[in-house]
Amino acid sequence: MTPPSQNAKSPAERGKGALIWDLPTRLFHWLLALLILAAFLSSDNRDLHERIGILILILIVFRLIWGVIGGRYARFVSFVRGPKAVLAHVADMRQPNPPQHIGHNAAGGWMVIALLALVLTQAGLGLFSHDLILYNGPLSGLISDSLSARLTTVHKILSNVILAAVALHVGAVAVYFLWKKQNLLRPMLTGRRADLTEADLPPLRVRAPPLFWAFGALMVAIVAIGGLLSLGR
C-alpha cells in the first residue's frame, strides 16, 4: 500500500509521525539481530551456543504468533504478496521517485519470510547436532548418529547461507537509503514514519495491540519450545 503524497504537509502537521511498527515487533527485530550475531561469535562455546539457539527458537515462534495477532503491519497478511506484486515493486524501483510503502514492500516481505525460515531451520537443526566428541544437541538422542552427523553438516553449511541473506538484507536497506532516499532503519527504531500522519493510514481495528498480547505470545512460545526440549530428556 502506498501512502498519499506528503508534499502539502508541514512538519508541524506531521508531528512525530504515524505509528507503523509496534514495540514487540521492534524488540523482536533487534533482539534477533543480536542473537544471530552472538550465535556466530559463540560457535566454539557449545553450551552457550546452544542456549542462544534456544532463545532464537523462542523468538521465532513468538514472531510466528505475532504475525497473526500483532500490529497491523507486523501481520503476515499485510506484507506477504504474490509474484505479480513483487515484480511490480521491482519495476517501480527503476523510477527516479518510486512509491513508498507503509510497511514492508512486496519484495521485503518475502525477505522477512526467507530470513525467518532460514533462522528457524538453522536453530532447529542445532537441536539435533553433535560434534562426535563432547557435545550432543538436546534432541540428538532421538535420531541415529549418522542422521545427526548429516544434520550437523547442513547446520554448518546453512550458517553461510544465513550470512549471505543477512548481508543481502543490510545491503537492501543501504540501497533504499543511499539510492532511493528511503530511510527504512529509523522507523524500526522509533516505530514511526515521520512523513506520515495517523490520518494517512487506513482505518484499523488494531494497529498496536496491548502489550499483554505480546507477553501471552511469548509465554506460549516458551512453553512450546520447553515442551519440544523435554522430548530429549
What CATH number is attached to the domain comprising 135?
1.20.950
Per-residue pLDDT at 162: 96
The residue among 59, 63, 61 whose CA lies nearest residue 76 is: 63
User: CA 122 to CA 54: how far, in whole Å?
Assistant: 11
Q: To which residue does cell 531451520 refer?
A: 121
DSSP letters spanning 168-212: HHHHHHHHHHHTS----HHHHHHSEETT--GGGSPP-S-SS--HH
Give domain status of residue 3, yes or no: no
Q: How crowded is the C-beta side of 227, counted as CA atoms within 13 Å? A: 7
Give domain status of residue 208, yes or no: yes
Count of the separate structural domains present in the chain: 1
Give domain status of residue 108, yes or no: yes
- For residue 15 the three cell numbers come to 508531528
Per-residue pLDDT at 103: 81
**What phi, psi does 212 have (nearest 5°)?**
-70, -20
Q: Tens of pLDDT along the chain (233 residues)? A: 444 444 444 443 445 778 889 999 999 999 999 999 999 999 889 899 999 999 999 999 999 999 999 988 899 988 888 888 888 877 777 776 666 678 888 888 899 999 999 999 999 999 999 876 778 899 999 999 999 999 999 999 999 999 999 999 999 888 878 876 778 888 899 988 877 777 777 665 556 688 899 999 999 999 999 999 999 87
Per-residue pLDDT at 15: 55
Give domain status of residue 5, yes or no: no
Model-level pTM? 0.85
- Residue 136, domain extent: 18-230
Q: Specify whether the CB–CB gap between 177 and 185 falls below 8 A.
A: yes
Q: Specify whether the CB–CB gap between 28 and 62 falls below 8 A.
A: yes
User: CA 87 to CA 106: how far, in whole Å?
Assistant: 9
* H or E element in which residue 18 lies: strand 18-19
Give domain status of residue 62, yes or no: yes
The residue among 187, 204, 205, 188 whose CA lies nearest residue 196 is: 187
Give domain status of residue 72, yes or no: yes
The residue among 170, 74, 60, 168 whose CA lies nearest residue 119 is: 60
Give domain status of residue 89, yes or no: yes
Give domain status of residue 170, yes or no: yes
